[in-house]
Copies of this chain bind each other. A is one copy, B any other.
Amino acid sequence: MLPRRRPRALGAALLLLLLLLLLGFFLFGGDPGCEGRERVGEPGGPGCLPCPLTPRIPSDGRLRGAAALDGDPLGGQGGHNRSDCGPQLPPKCELLHVAIVCAGHNSSREVITLVKSMLFYRKNPLHLHLVTDAVARNILETLFHTWMVPAVRVSFYDAEELKPQVSWIPNKHYSGLYGLMKLVLPGALPPDLARVIVLDTDVTFASDIAELWALFAHFSDKQVIGLVENQSDWYLGNLWKNHRPWPALGRGFNTGVILLQLDRLRRAGWEQMWRLTASRELLTLPATSLADQDIFNAVIKEHPGLVQPLPCIWNVQLSDHTLAERCYSEASDLKVIHWNSPKKLRVKNKHVEFFRNFYLTFMEYDGNLLRRELFGCPGQPLPGAEQRALAQLDEEDACFEFRQQQLTVHRVHITFLPHEPPPPRPHDVTLVTQLSMDRLQMLEALCRHWPGPMSLALYLTDAEAQQFLRFVEASPVLSARQDVAYHVVYREGPLYPINQLRNVALAQALTPYVFLSDVDFLPAYSLYDSLRASIEQLGLGSRRKAALVVPAFETLHYRFSFPTSKAELLALLDAGALHTFRYHEWPRGHAPTDYTRWREAEAPYRVQWAADYEPYVVVPRDCPRYDPRFVGFGWNKVAHIVELDAQEYELLVLPEAFTIHLPHAPSLDISRFRSSPTYRDCLQALKDEFHQDLSRHYGAAALKYLTALQQPGSPA
């Protein structure tokens, strides 16, 4: 019996064992999502919790990953049999933290492409931690404030305060001191912040950052830094003769994309750790070549247990000696592209066109479209006053477009290009104006005629802003000028928000006085100097509240020799080669300037306001703002002069000053004004509301403007 009994029990036991094994397989190896990868010989990939993330670093610290590019265990999602068993993404509304070091005008412009790509794919709320210098902070604060992207928080940290912590390290990298600041983030960021993704400004996302965040889940208790292998032989030290790189595990790691476990780093005494390593290496090495990256690698070489290698697709490096092709030609998917060559988009690479297209996609992407709410996530900001007003507008209202345009908050990127503020001079004047793409060709001439500071608002799409950038770079005249500030106001809506643009340019003027001009005018060569002289003589601003009138003329020829003196101007006027501005179409606009008197005048003379007067004036910077309700064509300058007069600015015509209007095709807006009765009706409505506000503000004093309005006359 017994012999007959045992086999049964044994059989049951064996079967049990088998089942337990099976069970184990399904529990720990059986995730179907990983089959694909297993078939192509990868033990696993990110996100498939049951499959271990490779390559693991053996206790001896020799990194199998060094051979990664060759064997492609770092290929991650790679392999020809795609499996999309992605990582366990963080919960729908979990807040993800991102840290970026950004300084100066150019980085502030470049980082926006990164931010756009990140926002395009993101589905989680984001908190951006920006370590910036004063310039970048000024630019980015304005930008994010006017961008109004839902579920995005931005905090700024002063790079100046961090400099002392890294300034002792000699660094040869083009990023300078800022290139070292990632080292001090654990100390600089809020102590309660446990995890952060750290990005270089020159990376572009091609997927949802939540997938990257999810890789934190794979960190062992010891691992504190997630990095992608460096995709060049730099750290192997064989790039050229006598090339002596800093120590690294195999190819080392690239720090363009870092997952930082801040809490653990702090506990592990990160600061002492890297300082110790850096100081020791600097005994034998003259300086860092790749800034923070050299030091991160040196530390990791000493403490291999700290690093969690990430799949190569999370930092596809397009450096000059890149081996990245081994990564992306295998992978079915790219997650992050890294332009880590000083040549940036001009880097030579047989696939560079492909990557450029990705970059251009987001560089030219209309950032307004990223104002997307996250459905079902709490704590979305309440709509602002404008948004509420916008929501209440009646789409059927004939003037809907006007109302909408007035309420639109435009994204503003101040000092889009490098700019040096003018030295403080008591009587200095900034030329203030605005333009769109079709007037770019005026800028060079304007620079020749106005040697002083300028503050220009440009109304552009994101794509046009890049054309503008190339235009300036291609122009010796423009790129030579550091005292011209370009402020990009991003296009939105059908009507040209002329007064909002003027106000942006005006707000950014840094001299005590401003010359409020239009871009189709070229001032007399001497105007900049003569204005400063007049301001001093007349004691404008301090002793008297006045607006200096610069008489306006026009030529009807594209090419003509610009008069170098009042005498020459008068000669051309008599010859019929020049006219007083809008003499044919709209004399009322400038009649009060009294050109006949100006011919003879040798001293400034005072003139009285009259209906529809719209001279070009020089005023103190703190002058009243333009009324933003006037969008498109009509009455936008007239209203401002009314405001000046109501605030009792004297109108003083300057005897030697003049500015000349060049011919151009009628703008789209003026064409619409002429062709559309509705357009004219809406403008009339705006004028009426303007006068109501005026009376409300100035009471009886405003009566004269209303009565003046009764006289016949169409808007200028």
- A: residues with CB less than 8 A from B are 1, 5, 8-9, 12-13, 15-16, 19-20, 22-23, 26-27, 30-33, 36, 47-50, 79-93, 123, 210-211, 214, 328-330, 332-333, 351, 354, 357-358, 360-361, 364-366, 369-373, 375-376, 437-442, 444, 461, 463, 470-471, 475, 477, 494, 520, 556-559, 576, 584-585, 662-668, 671, 675
Known contacts being A376-B80, A665-B664, is A50 close to B32, with CB within 8 Å?
Answer: yes
Closest Cβ neighbor of A36 among chain B residues: B88
Inter-chain contacts of A372 with B (CB < 8 A):
354, 357-358
Nearest CB on B from A208, distance (A):
9
Closest Cβ neighbor of A20 among chain B residues: B19
Other-chain residue from B23, B48, B559 in contact with A22 (beta carbon distance below 8 A):
B23
Inter-chain contacts of A360 with B (CB < 8 A):
366, 369
Closest Cβ neighbor of A471 among chain B residues: B668
Tell me if A's interface is mostly helix, strand, loop or mixed: loop
Inter-chain contacts of A461 with B (CB < 8 A):
463
Inter-chain contacts of A333 with B (CB < 8 A):
123
Contact A90 B82 (CB under 8 A): yes
Other-chain residue from B92, B667, B675 in contact with A82 (beta carbon distance below 8 A):
B92
Other-chain residue from B9, B84, B87, B442 in contact with A211 (beta carbon distance below 8 A):
B84
Known contacts being A8-B9, A665-B663, is A32 close to B31, with CB within 8 Å?
Answer: yes
Give the number of copies in the complex.
Answer: 2
In angstroms, Cα B438 to Cα A438, docked, is: 6
A and B contact pairs by CB, cutoff 8 A, 30 listed:
A15-B16, A19-B19, A32-B48, A33-B33, A33-B85, A47-B84, A79-B92, A80-B91, A80-B93, A80-B376, A81-B91, A82-B89, A82-B92, A84-B86, A85-B86, A123-B333, A357-B372, A364-B366, A438-B438, A441-B668, A442-B665, A444-B671, A463-B463, A470-B494, A556-B556, A556-B663, A558-B663, A558-B666, A559-B584, A663-B664
Closest Cβ neighbor of A332 among chain B residues: B92
Inter-chain contacts of A332 with B (CB < 8 A):
89, 92, 123
Q: Which of A22, A85, A668 has the most B CB atoms < 10 Å from its CB?
A: A85
In angstroms, Cα B375 to Cα A328, docked, is: 7
Contact B330 A376 (CB under 8 A): yes
Closest Cβ neighbor of A666 among chain B residues: B558
Contact A23 B19 (CB under 8 A): yes
Contact B376 A329 (CB under 8 A): yes
Inter-chain contacts of A663 with B (CB < 8 A):
556, 558, 663-665
Nearest CB on B from A580, distance (A):
14
In angstroms, Cα B663 to Cα A583, docked, is: 16
Closest Cβ neighbor of A79 among chain B residues: B92
Inter-chain contacts of A365 with B (CB < 8 A):
361
Closest Cβ neighbor of A467 among chain B residues: B494
Nearest CB on B from A126, distance (A):
15
Known contacts being A84-B211, A86-B84, is A369 close to B361, with CB within 8 Å?
Answer: yes
Contact B88 A92 (CB under 8 A): no
In angstroms, Cα B354 to Cα A23, docked, is: 46
In angstroms, Cα B442 to Cα A531, docked, is: 39
Known: A32-B50, A80-B91, A559-B584. 15 other contacts (CB 8 A): A8-B9, A19-B19, A26-B30, A82-B92, A82-B210, A84-B86, A89-B332, A329-B375, A351-B373, A361-B365, A366-B463, A441-B668, A444-B671, A471-B668, A664-B665
Contact A665 B375 (CB under 8 A): no
Inter-chain contacts of A557 with B (CB < 8 A):
556, 584
10 closest Cβ contacts across the A-B interface?
A: A556-B556, A664-B665, A12-B12, A84-B86, A26-B26, A441-B671, A438-B438, A663-B663, A357-B369, A82-B89
In angstroms, Cα B462 to Cα A360, docked, is: 14
Nearest CB on B from A95, distance (A):
14
Inter-chain contacts of A50 with B (CB < 8 A):
32
Contact A441 B666 (CB under 8 A): yes
In angstroms, Cα B89 to Cα A31, docked, is: 15
In angstroms, Cα B370 to Cα A354, docked, is: 9
In angstroms, Cα B87 to Cα A82, docked, is: 10
Inter-chain contacts of A442 with B (CB < 8 A):
665
Nearest CB on B from A674, distance (A):
9
Closest Cβ neighbor of A12 among chain B residues: B12
Contact B373 A354 (CB under 8 A): yes
In angstroms, Cα B437 to Cα A603, docked, is: 46
Closest Cβ neighbor of A87 among chain B residues: B84
Closest Cβ neighbor of A13 among chain B residues: B12
In angstroms, Cα B671 to Cα A654, docked, is: 32
Nearest CB on B from A558, distance (A):
5
Known contacts being A16-B16, A360-B369, A444-B675, is A81 close to B87, with CB within 8 Å?
Answer: no
Known contacts being A88-B32, A354-B372, A556-B556, is A665 close to B665, with CB within 8 Å?
Answer: yes
Known contacts being A439-B665, A662-B665, A671-B444, is A357 close to B376, with CB within 8 Å?
Answer: no
In angstroms, Cα B1 to Cα A89, docked, is: 57
Nearest CB on B from A700, distance (A):
39
